[in-house]
Amino acid sequence: MIRRSMFVVLAGLALLGLLLGACAPAATTVAPTQPPAATAAPTAAPTTASMGPLTFVLVPKNLGNPYFDTANKGAQDAAKELGVTVTYQGPATADVTQQITLLNSLIAQKVSGLAVSADDSNALVPVGQAAAAAGIPVVSFDSAIAAGGRVFHINQAEAQGIADVQIKMALDLTGADGGKIAILSATSSAPNQNDWIARMKTDLAKPENSKLQLVDTVYGNDDDTTSYTQAQGLIQKYPDLKVIIAPTTVGIAASARAVSDAKLIGKVFVTGLGTPNQMRDYVKSGASPEFALWNPSDLGYLSIYALDALATGKIKGQPGDKFSAGKLGDYTVLPDNTVLLGQPTIFNKDNIDNFNF
């Protein structure tokens, strides 16, 4: 008589055996070589950095953000030109704990280099040092890891320049009489956001900006719904608000939508940092007559060239090192261990149709 217990064991083993069979060894990683909407073909597993094809990983603050998706496009272009593989992996939400787990996993896989946009500049230092100890060069782009956790930081534009251009646009939009402005940021821990906000506040203290009055700073966490709700909150709380500055592509789009939905176009203006494709309708409707950005695709492109120069030993990452970045030209590492991409561009209805990203 077969005992009932044996059936449990047999059933369990049968299930698990089928799991084993279903998981026949497949490609261990897949390398996309095309920008979005193209199918990716599985290629061979990545090898270690010393010999053979290099594999770099672009790690955004979180997935599902068009700004970082565009950076990835540039990174893939660079990958094609350099003959390396670039994979694009990030946490589901802008949570540093998830980013650390992901980076630990990538270090374990012995990738050739990491380009990271930090969710928290300090918390990533230990894992950045662990990567360096494992022989993996780490650069940060867009949002810096604190010094000691990366070789150098690739800055899209000078932080002061980014702050200046946003205050200038706010002053343009309020007109000579000035008025109340508010800032809608991303997460309260994002280092780039906090840097820009601090600099904007210093700018506001200057005499030429004295007519602008900053009433509030709120956080949309780079989440569309949260940003939209925060923007609505600002409009309701400050009825005579003139300008919302949103130095985040998610926040600016949500705020422009909130202003349009509340039928306040022409009374409340939205400016900040946004992508042309997202903001085109709002520029034309007048909800956001002008905003600024740099090209995130160039940022991703430059990051991969920088990683390649580090991984192949062309540069060590010290101030003064020069490296070439394909179509962008030559770059030098600055004394504060950053690399500067360029100046921000202001988009308005005159030039917005010239861009597609």
Partner 1 sequence: MIDPATATPTTESQSSNLVNEFAPRRSFLARFQRWEWMLVALLFIVIVLNSGLSPYFLNAVNLSRTSSDFMEKGLMMLPMVFIILTGNIDLSVASNMGMSASLMGLLFNNGINIWAAALAGLVLGTLGGLLNGFLVSRVKIPSLVVTLGTYAFFRGLAYGFLGDQAATNYPASFTYLGQGKLFGTLIPFSVGLFVVLAVVFGVVLHRTTYGRYLVAIGNNENTTSYSGIQVARIKLINYTISGFISALAGLILASRFGSTLPDIGTGLELSVITAAVLGGVDINGGKGTMVGAVLSLTLIGLMSFGMGLLNIQGQVQGVIIGLLLILSILLPNLVRNIFGSKTRLTPQAIGMIVLFVIIFAVFFVFFFWSRTLALRSL
Tokens 């199918």 correspond to what residue?
39
For the chain, counts of helices (H) and of strands (E): 10, 14
* Cα distance between residue 331 and residue 322, in whole Å: 6
Mark residue 183 as left, alpha or beta (left: phi above 0; alpha: psi -120 to 50; beta: remaining).
beta
299 lines the binding site for partner 1 (CB under 8 A): no
50 lines the binding site for partner 1 (CB under 8 A): no
Measured from the CB atom, the residue of 107 and 310 that comes closer to partner 1 is 107
44 lines the binding site for partner 1 (CB under 8 A): no
Contact window for partner 1 (CB under 8 A) among 27-35, 155-163, 232-240, 261-269? 27-35
142 lines the binding site for partner 1 (CB under 8 A): no
Closest to 211 (Cα-Cα) out of 240, 184, 179, 168: 179
13 lines the binding site for partner 1 (CB under 8 A): yes
* Cα distance between residue 294 and residue 273, in whole Å: 9
User: Of 54, 59, 82, 96, which one interacts with partner 1 (CB under 8 A)?
Assistant: 96
Closest to 125 (Cα-Cα) out of 142, 102, 150, 101: 150
231 lines the binding site for partner 1 (CB under 8 A): no
Measured from the CB atom, the residue of 197 and 287 that comes closer to partner 1 is 197
Q: Restricting to residues 54-73, which ones interact with partner 1 according to CB under 8 A?
A: 63-64, 69, 72-73
Strand blocks (E) in the chain: 55-59, 85-88, 113-116, 138-141, 153-155, 179-185, 212-219, 241-246, 269-272, 291-293, 322-324, 330-332, 338-340, 345-347
3-state secondary structure of 257: helix
CA angle 262, 251, 229 (to 5 degrees): 45
Measured from the CB atom, the residue of 89 and 229 that comes closer to partner 1 is 89
User: Of 81, 110, 233, 348, which one interacts with partner 1 (CB under 8 A)?
Assistant: 110
Measured from the CB atom, the residue of 95 and 281 that comes closer to partner 1 is 95
Please report how close the Cβ of residue 102 comes to partner 1 at its closest, in angstroms: 7
29 lines the binding site for partner 1 (CB under 8 A): yes
CB 204 within 8 A of CB 214: yes
Q: Which residues bind partner 1 (CB under 8 A)?
A: 1-9, 11-16, 18-20, 22-23, 25-26, 28-32, 35-36, 38-40, 42, 63-64, 69, 72-73, 76, 87-89, 91-92, 95-98, 100-102, 104-105, 107-110, 120, 122-123, 125-126, 130, 146, 188-189, 194
